[in-house]
Amino acid sequence: MRRLIANQELLLIGLMAVLLLAVSLKFPDFFGQQTLFNVLTASMVGMLFAVGVMLVVVSGGIDVSFLAVGILSAYATVKWASPDAGALSVFAISTAIGLGLGLINAAVVIIARTSVLIATLATSSIYLGAMFAFVGGEVISILPQSLQTLGSTHLITAKGAVRGTTSLNVLILVVIAVCILVWAFLRFTVAGRSVFAVGGDAEAASRAAISVPRIRMLVFAIAGAVAGLAGIISITLSGRADPTTFMGRELDTLAAVVLGGVAIAGGKGTVRGAVLGVLLISLVTASLVPLGIPTIWQRAAVGALLIGGILLQTTISRRQRIRPILDAPAPEVTNA
Amino acid sequence: MSAPFVEAVSVSKRFGGVQALTDVSVAFSPGEVHCIVGENGCGKSTLLKVISGAYRPTSGQVIVAGTAYDHLTPRQALSAGVEVIYQDFSLMPNLTAAENIALPGSVAGGRRLYSRTAARALAERAVVRLGVEIELDIPVGELTVAERQLTAIARALAHEAKFIAMDEPTTALTWKEVDALFAAVGRLKESGVALAFISHKMQEIFSIAERVTVLRNGGVVTSGRPDEFTHASLAETMTGRGSQSFDRVAPRNKGRAPALKVSGLGRDPLFADVDLEIGQGEIVGLAGLLGSGRTEIAEAICGVKPAQTGTIEVLGRPVEIKALADAVKAGIGYVPEDRLTQGLFLDQPIGDNIVATHLPSRRGFLSPQSIERRKARVVRDLRIKLGKLTDPVRSLSGGNAQRVLLGKWLLGEPKVLILNGPTVGVDVGSKFDILGVLNAQSLQGLGVLIISDDVPELISMCHRVLVVRSGRIVRELSGDQLREDTVVEAVTAS
């Protein structure tokens, strides 16, 4: 089974390669650093959201509040930050708000004993409502100086494919660091393995002395913090804080997570898969432009990919090992 | 005798209106195998859950290693060395066997870091100690029931437990595996572990127990050494009624078409050339080791995993069975092996489960009155012990859940009923009831195919026993040949 899941990841990589090749054949310029940087830049925020959502989904439940958490944390931080606030403190505050909102999610799920989907649907609306009511709804186009500087600090700058330059923001390092941290958490800590246990069978997990509420709190706290970080990175990269940035984009992230082989029923998923799912979706979007397909089709393409991803999962889980029983040739039947 | 390691003192437990345990006191001492026996719903499983900290007792205390707890938590219990192997194994299906074995210890030990290699090594040691082979690196959900059972036992062994309770650990095991388990139990006993063992199988109780405690209706009836009981007296103490047996009436199938006739059934690579015939009113046993293909044959006849070749006839009429629905329509009922996960909607009401496959309707509309009548009839006929018809099936004990399943199939008035391990995990009293229901049904012309490991049961019930080995029917035993030794020999021969 593990090998088959790895196959799903291989398949994503293969799909990306095919797509890249197909577009590059028509437009040789497409194959180059510019596309790589474009796709990575477009994926940075999505990867963080996807990694957080992946954690929640693995623990058993579909989180739809991550974008609300992300934008509320980041927008409130930027709105109330002084113009000369340091980037580190802005990032830390947004992350901390996200963590707090994640804990509220966990509290609702644990206390109300409701499904994660219902709980986060509710909190998501509350978070967005609270943002517009108490924080504000106007676009902030002047960010603290430190964020503006950070937004134009690039890790690598190269010559553009056709003209100008192309660059990759230094924040990609933060994204990579978070992905590695979450991967290590899932792989090397008892709490991380417990997340899988809870997602597999919460009842059995609690009998194995795993404190299910504690694991849920941990998962939502991490997911919330990562969403808060994603929100502030998004604002930093775009250079403006628009509270409506993410509205209605939840499905893109969920689609990426499902494509990445994360079982929607819980208990199965990897950071690598979630990241690959996001990269694939970004690449699809990036490919539509040179192909002359209007970007409005991007959503349809994501939907089609999602169906493909789910079909893949169901065929994988349907394929079971059959152990042969028949071996010897027919022995003589002794009748009474 | 040394001081008890685990002790339940005057434990009572109520669930809503049901008194599950009343003033139960039991002690488990190091180096002793203590069998807890009793009918379904007598409170054995509840007692285990109190001891493991899964349930908080309504009153009373649990004493572990000299410390008294009013409310023991699972973590406290585990870290004190209390391990309970539940009937449903309580394994995480998405994790590998190795991880299932190793993780709880890490959690209970309060460790933060997890190492896959260390976990693998720990699991391997436990499996070796148990003396069996389990594939450790694939998800538990892909293992067979027996392998899962062994995984659960290995998990208990892995944690240097000082007290291990096993809730019917042998129900899914073959004889060879049971021997291995008993050998492991013997070694544990010698190393000073206290063991609690829940079983319905008399032979097992008498072969491994140092002490037997009988529960009935949530209270302790008696407790003593096994040599103070006989099979009959123990059965009587458990059920509270005298021992029973039933007469086997030879089926009158002269001139009547067989209820089920199967010829040349095959499915590569599982089984081939399966011919069998079950007369109306005849009870036929299908004996074979786990993995011999007996379950696969049954699943092919009832369409769960249809056969590739061969023909099936019901009452002389050929039927084509491609799915379970075809089998139901043709009059073939199937009661599956794993009663807890197959065939019942565990979270749905008991009543709805009973009528799930056979809803009476008039012109497409359900008829609520006759639905209620049917529910009541099944509960009465099969003596299902329940709180309310609207309770979920999950709330029932194993034997009662099995009766719900049986009742569900009998409602459809099948011509043939195929039962896979019908009395697995069922206590003596219920077992007799279930077999009695089958016997009565067969007298009315129902053909019955029983797949079972329980040789005495097959011998007492069946007119004929077919023996399956390596996916083929290799012997047919009837009449004088139907003796325990001949059947066991035929099944285990290679």
The residue among B76, B101, B103, B143 with the most chain A CBs within 10 A of its CB, best to mutate, is B103
> Are A192 and A54 contacting, i.e. CB atoms less than 8 angstroms apart?
no
- In this prediction, residue A316 carries a pLDDT of 66
Whether A196 and B115 lie within 8 Å, measured CB to CB = no
Q: Where are the alpha helices (DSSP H) in chain A?
A: 2-26, 33-58, 66-80, 87-112, 116-130, 145-151, 172-188, 190-200, 202-207, 212-238, 250-259, 271-288, 297-318
Q: How many residues belong to chain A?
A: 336
Whether B113 and A190 lie within 8 Å, measured CB to CB = yes
Q: Does A322 touch chain B (CB under 8 A)?
A: yes
- Write down the number of H helices and E strands in chain B: 16, 22
- In this prediction, residue B40 carries a pLDDT of 65
Tokens of B206: 């008498």
Nearest to B446 by CA among B276, B257, B259, B286: B259
Q: Does A329 touch chain B (CB under 8 A)?
A: no
The residue among A323, A326, A327 with the most chain B CBs within 10 A of its CB, best to mutate, is A326
Among A2, A187, A210, whose Cβ lies nearest the Cβ of B107? A210
CA distance B375 to chain A (A): 30
What is the DSSP pairing of strand B211-216 with strand B271-278?
unpaired
Q: Give contacts of B 108-127 with A, CB under 8 A.
A: 108, 111-116
Whether B269 and A322 lie within 8 Å, measured CB to CB = yes
Burial class (CB in 10 A: 0-12, 13-18, 19+), B369: exposed
Among B52, B90, B270, whose Cβ lies nearest the Cβ of A325? B270
- In this prediction, residue B377 carries a pLDDT of 83
Among A194, A267, A335, whose Cβ lies nearest the Cβ of B476? A335
Chain B residues with beta carbon closer than 8 angstroms to that of A204 = 88-92
Q: How far apart are CA A100 and CA A289, in angstroms?
A: 39
Q: Give contacts of A 178-197 with B, CB under 8 A.
A: 187-194, 196-197
Q: Where in chain B is the domain with CATH 3.40.50.300?
A: 6-239, 260-492
Among B113, B138, B475, whose Cβ lies nearest the Cβ of A189? B113
Which chain A residue has the Cα nearest residue B94?
A200
Which chain A residue has the Cα nearest residue B80?
A209
Whether B112 and A201 lie within 8 Å, measured CB to CB = no
Sign of dihedral through CA atoms B159, B163, B166, B170? positive
Among B99, B291, B477, whose Cβ lies nearest the Cβ of A336? B477
CA distance A324 to chain B (A): 5
Q: Which CATH number fits domain B6-239: 3.40.718.10, 3.30.750.210, 3.40.50.300, 2.40.50.100?
A: 3.40.50.300
Whether B116 and A187 lie within 8 Å, measured CB to CB = yes
The residue among B72, B87, B95 with the most chain A CBs within 10 A of its CB, best to mutate, is B95
Among B106, B469, B479, whose Cβ lies nearest the Cβ of A336? B479
Among B75, B269, B472, whose Cβ lies nearest the Cβ of A331? B472
Q: How far apart are CA B382 and CA B16, in angstroms?
A: 25
Sign of dihedral through CA atoms A247, A253, A255, A258? negative
Residues of chain A with pLDDT under 70: 1-7, 161, 313, 316-325, 327-336
Q: Does A213 touch chain B (CB under 8 A)?
A: no
Among B74, B111, B114, whose Cβ lies nearest the Cβ of A206? B74
What's the DSSP call for residue B120? H
Instruction: Return the H-helix or E-strand segment holding B277.
Output: strand B271-278
Nearest to B56 by CA among B20, B86, B13: B13
Which chain B residue has the Cα nearest residue A332?
B474
- In this prediction, residue B338 carries a pLDDT of 63
Nearest to A243 by CA among A146, A134, A114: A134
CA distance A292 to chain B (A): 44
What is the DSSP code string of B288-317? --TTSSHHHHHHHHTTSS--SEEEEEETTE
CA distance B62 to chain A (A): 17
Among B79, B94, B473, whose Cβ lies nearest the Cβ of A199? B94
Nearest to B249 by CA among B481, B439, B477: B439
Which chain B residue has the Cα nearest residue A209?
B75
- In this prediction, residue A298 carries a pLDDT of 78
Q: Which CATH number fits domain B260-492: 3.40.50.10490, 3.30.499.10, 3.30.379.10, 3.40.50.300?
A: 3.40.50.300
User: ipTM score of the complex?
Assistant: 0.80
Chain B residues with beta carbon closer than 8 angstroms to that of A329 = none
Whether A336 and B113 lie within 8 Å, measured CB to CB = no
- In this prediction, residue A1 carries a pLDDT of 45
Q: What is the dihedral of CA B257, B473, B449, B270, to 10 degrees?
A: -110
Encode chain B (494 residues) as per-residue pLDDT tens digits. 568 899 999 999 887 767 888 999 999 999 999 999 887 667 888 898 899 888 889 999 999 988 899 888 888 888 888 888 887 788 998 999 999 999 888 887 788 888 888 899 999 988 887 777 888 998 898 887 778 878 888 888 887 788 999 888 877 677 677 777 888 888 888 888 899 988 877 778 888 899 999 988 888 988 989 888 887 788 778 777 654 555 555 665 566 788 899 999 998 888 889 999 998 888 899 988 777 888 889 999 988 888 899 999 999 899 998 988 888 888 898 887 765 556 778 788 888 888 887 777 777 778 888 888 888 888 887 777 777 888 888 777 767 777 888 888 888 888 899 988 876 666 666 667 777 777 777 777 888 998 887 777 788 788 899 999 888 898 898 888 887 778 877 877 75
What is the DSSP code string of B31-45? T-EEEEEE-TTSSHH
- In this prediction, residue A209 carries a pLDDT of 81
> Helix, strand, or coil here: B23?
strand
Whether B106 and A190 lie within 8 Å, measured CB to CB = yes
